């Protein structure tokens, strides 16, 4: 009984009860993926890449932590990796597949290599999106058979910066993979844009678009896709505005201001492991070997001991990608609502944020000083087919998006940040942006987040985020609205505004959201206004369920 009591004390001190911890575990996957060559630098030889993995293996064994190592095909056929990953790894460690396409992989499938190097990171060569569906099947088949030849079984975990729905569905239907992972949201990094998706944690992708969460069991691939790289919940989002190339603020141990900064790592772990999260909290640690051991050593020497301590104290689960995927599938028949909360600011700018995700939408709430805005709303619809589902991509860029309603990054400039803001009418008839103090954020049941924001104008703004709705309540005695403003030349998707419905089109796909309570107008008080939401009896209710 004594260890159990100690665990209860530790959990309570961390800010959440043992019951909450059971309902909402905090999960870490340490995922290291392996390339056999690095053509971008002559100094990064095959030996340097191998020694990097050997150091990762040794460190994890020292701290007794299981991990997931994902092998690119060129590393899979290198006997040194089989020996290393079966002899020296900590027990419970798994080996799976990393889905970047290489020359030996393509040629083993009987196809012609089109790359500049034996591994080429351009999207039309180095990823499955650059190949036809028939070619993708061949690439999957030859990899799976080679993996079984080397390790005696098919892999159950396959990861990549992005895997198209056709490939992922084929991997599940024929080979029964259990879990997958893809890149965090980013704009333009290495030519890959993933924007508007299920933010962090994991989701079931739909059958025709692996980036878009499914709404139904029939429409989903039953392979949870975990979001990688531990994105900074406050500052990553607007690290660029207006669609410029985005920098990286993440748990990756090669970044000195984040993953290699003790201050940032401790703050990030506190947010992910202690703040409200609903179904479960999650992050992925680790690094690809292309960055080499000298590049990642400092960051890993900060992160791995911290994770080991939290694991020993029972505050987190450190497990393989397959184990997390199997747990997810057991507990969630469809994608669950989850949240990420960051209620302190390591940069001391008094910023706070809450991300909420469900199978229907995602949203991001941001407080900065005494102001508040809804920074992001993107809708999900399993009927929106990816450009890459039926045909190969032909450029070195890859773009996956969802359906924007509010986009505080792409619709902004440095001078004009887009967002949905609370406006009050003053006694002289003019309008001013609401101000307030620190919000209270709490979980409400298994699937809702309740946010209470005390406003200096008087009263409180209450926001209830649920699986398919957003409910905003304010003081009935005051005249207030929610107003969407954007940069003047932002490319907006809206096609029509009704009193109860806003319709839009993105990449040729039509969608809408409904105002169940309150009304929509386009005569907002600001010059940059797009639409306004007016409450009825102090309340606005938006519904984001596809028709």
Question: In the prediction, which pLDDT does 22 show?
Answer: 54
Mean pLDDT, rounded, for 466-491: 94
Average pLDDT of the residues of the chain: 93
Do 443 and 276 contact (CB within 8 A), yes or no? yes
**Are 228 and 303 part of one and the same domain?**
yes
**Are 284 and 381 part of one and the same domain?**
no
Question: In the prediction, which pLDDT does 494 show?
Answer: 97
Q: How far apart (Å, rounded) are the C-alpha atoms in residues 516 and 227?
A: 32
Q: How far apart (Å, rounded) are the C-alpha atoms in residues 144 and 281?
A: 31
**Are 296 and 411 part of one and the same domain?**
no
Mean pLDDT, rounded, for 441-457: 94
Question: In the prediction, which pLDDT does 396 show?
Answer: 85
Question: In the prediction, which pLDDT does 15 show?
Answer: 38
**Are 268 and 372 part of one and the same domain?**
no
Other beta carbons within 10 angstroms of residue 272's beta carbon come to 23
**Are 101 and 194 part of one and the same domain?**
yes
**Are 506 and 407 part of one and the same domain?**
yes
pLDDT confidence bin for 28, thresholds 50/70/90: very high
Q: Which domain holds residue 485?
A: 342-543
pLDDT tens digits for range 357-385: 999 999 999 999 999 999 999 999 999 99
Q: Which residues contact 467 (CB under 8 A, 6 or more apart)?
A: 337, 358, 359, 360, 447, 448
Mean pLDDT, rounded, for 436-441: 96
**DSSP H/E element including 527:** none
Listed residues 286, 302, 332: the one ending a domain: 332
Q: What CATH number should be reported for the domain holding residue 424?
A: 2.70.98
Question: In the prediction, which pLDDT does 13 show?
Answer: 40
Does residue 469 belong to any structural domain of this protein?
A: yes
Of 513, 504, 503, 511, the closest CA to residue 540 belongs to: 513
- Report how far Cα 489 is from the mean position of its chain's Cα atoms: 28
Residue 254: is its pLDDT beyond 80? yes
Match 């005051």 to its residue by tokens.
Answer: 478
Does residue 1 belong to any structural domain of this protein?
A: no
pLDDT confidence bin for 245, thresholds 50/70/90: confident
Q: How far apart (Å, rounded) are the C-alpha atoms in residues 380 and 203?
A: 11
Does residue 2 belong to any structural domain of this protein?
A: no
**DSSP H/E element including 454:** strand 448-454
Do 546 and 539 contact (CB within 8 A), yes or no? no
Distances 341 to 37, 140, 150, 253, 315 between C-alpha atoms, Å: 38, 38, 42, 22, 17
pLDDT confidence bin for 17, thresholds 50/70/90: very low
Question: In the prediction, which pLDDT does 23 show?
Answer: 66
Question: In the prediction, which pLDDT does 20 show?
Answer: 37
Q: What CATH number should be reported for the domain holding residue 41?
A: 3.20.20.510
Other beta carbons within 10 angstroms of residue 154's beta carbon come to 17
pLDDT confidence bin for 6, thresholds 50/70/90: very low
pLDDT tens digits for range 40-54: 999 999 999 999 999
Of 55, 57, 67, the closest CA to residue 30 belongs to: 67
Does residue 143 belong to any structural domain of this protein?
A: yes
**Are 407 and 328 part of one and the same domain?**
no
**Are 218 and 284 part of one and the same domain?**
yes
**Are 119 and 155 part of one and the same domain?**
yes
Share of residues in the chain with pLDDT > 70 (%): 95
pLDDT tens digits for range 486-498: 999 999 999 999 9
**Are 291 and 437 part of one and the same domain?**
no
Positive or negative, the CA dihedral 330, 331, 332, 338 is negative
Distances 222 to 133, 227, 538 between C-alpha atoms, Å: 20, 16, 41
Does residue 17 belong to any structural domain of this protein?
A: no
Does residue 299 belong to any structural domain of this protein?
A: yes
Q: How far apart (Å, rounded) are the C-alpha atoms in residues 138 and 535?
A: 56
Mean pLDDT, rounded, for 298-311: 98
Question: In the prediction, which pLDDT does 242 show?
Answer: 66
Does residue 11 belong to any structural domain of this protein?
A: no
Q: How far apart (Å, rounded) are the C-alpha atoms in residues 126 and 134?
A: 16
- Whole-structure pTM over 0.95, yes or no? no
Does residue 383 belong to any structural domain of this protein?
A: yes
Mean pLDDT, rounded, for 401-420: 94
Listed residues 278, 310, 332: the one ending a domain: 332
pLDDT tens digits for range 67-115: 999 999 999 999 999 999 999 999 999 999 999 999 999 999 999 999 9
Question: How many domains does one find in the chain?
Answer: 2
Residues in the chain: 547
pLDDT tens digits for range 185-243: 988 877 888 999 999 999 999 999 999 999 999 999 999 999 999 999 999 998 877 66
**Are 259 and 355 part of one and the same domain?**
no
**Are 228 and 372 part of one and the same domain?**
no
Question: In the prediction, which pLDDT does 4 show?
Answer: 37
Listed residues 273, 302, 332: the one ending a domain: 332
Do 502 and 512 contact (CB within 8 A), yes or no? yes
């Amino acid at each position: 009984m004594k260890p159990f009591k100690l665990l209860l004390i530790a959990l309570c001190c961390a800010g959440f009860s043992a019951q909450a911890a059971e309902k909402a575990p905090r999960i870490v996957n340490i995922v290291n993926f392996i390339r056999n060559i690095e053509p971008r630098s002559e100094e990064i030889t095959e030996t340097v890449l191998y020694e990097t993995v050997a150091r990762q293996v040794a460190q994890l064994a020292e701290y007794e932590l299981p991990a997931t190592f994902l092998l690119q095909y060129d590393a899979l056929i290198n006997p040194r990796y089989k020996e290393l990953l079966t002899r020296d790894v900590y027990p419970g460690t798994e080996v799976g597949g990393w889905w970047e396409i290489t020359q030996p992989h393509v040629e083993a499938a009987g196809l012609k290599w089109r790359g500049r190097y034996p591994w080429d990171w351009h999207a039309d060569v180095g990823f499955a999106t650059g190949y036809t569906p028939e070619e993708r099947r061949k690439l999957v088949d030859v990899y799976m058979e080679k993996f079984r030849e080397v390790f005696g079984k098919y892999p159950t975990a396959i990861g990549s910066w992005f895997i198209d729905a056709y490939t992922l569905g084929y991997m599940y239907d024929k080979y029964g993979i259990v879990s997958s992972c893809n890149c965090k949201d980013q704009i333009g990094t290495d030519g890959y844009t993933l924007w508007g998706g299920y933010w962090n944690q994991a989701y079931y992708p739909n059958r025709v678009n692996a980036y878009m969460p499914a709404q139904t069991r029939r429409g989903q691939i039953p392979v949870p896709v975990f979001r990688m790289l531990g994105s900074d919940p406050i500052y990553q989002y607007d690290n660029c505005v207006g669609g410029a190339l985005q920098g990286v603020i993440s748990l990756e141990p090669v970044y000195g201001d984040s993953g290699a900064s003790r201050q940032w790592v401790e703050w990030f772990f506190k947010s992910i492991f202690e703040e409200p999260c609903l179904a479960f909290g999650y992050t992925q640690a680790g690094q690809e070997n292309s960055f080499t051991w000298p590049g990642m050593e400092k960051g890993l020497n900060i992160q791995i001991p911290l994770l080991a301590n939290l694991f020993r104290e029972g505050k987190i689960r450190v497990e393989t990608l397959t184990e997390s995927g199997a747990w997810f599938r057991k507990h969630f028949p469809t994608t669950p609502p989850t949240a990420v909360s960051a209620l302190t600011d390591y940069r001391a700018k008094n910023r706070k944020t809450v991300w909420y995700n469900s199978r229907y939408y995602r949203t991001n709430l941001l407080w900065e000083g005494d102001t508040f805005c809804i920074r992001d709303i993107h809708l999900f619809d399993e009927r929106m087919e990816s450009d890459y589902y039926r045909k190969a991509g032909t450029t070195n860029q890859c773009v996956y998006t969802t359906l924007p309603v509010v986009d505080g990054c792409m619709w902004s400039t440095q001078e004009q940040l887009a967002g949905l803001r609370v406006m009050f009418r003053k006694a002289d008839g003019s309008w001013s942006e609401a101000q307030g103090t620190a919000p209270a954020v709490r979980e409400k049941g298994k699937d809702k987040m309740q946010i209470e924001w005390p406003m200096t104008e008087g009263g409180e703004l209450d926001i209830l985020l649920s699986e398919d709705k957003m409910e905003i309540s304010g003081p009935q005695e005051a005249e207030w609205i929610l107003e969407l403003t954007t940069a003047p030349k932002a490319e907006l998707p809206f096609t029509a505004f009704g009193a109860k419905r806003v319709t839009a089109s993105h990449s040729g796909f039509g969608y809408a959201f409904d105002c169940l309570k309150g009304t929509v107008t386009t005569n907002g008080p600001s010059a940059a206004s797009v639409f306004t939401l007016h409450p009825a009896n102090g309340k606005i209710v938006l519904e984001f369920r596809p028709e």
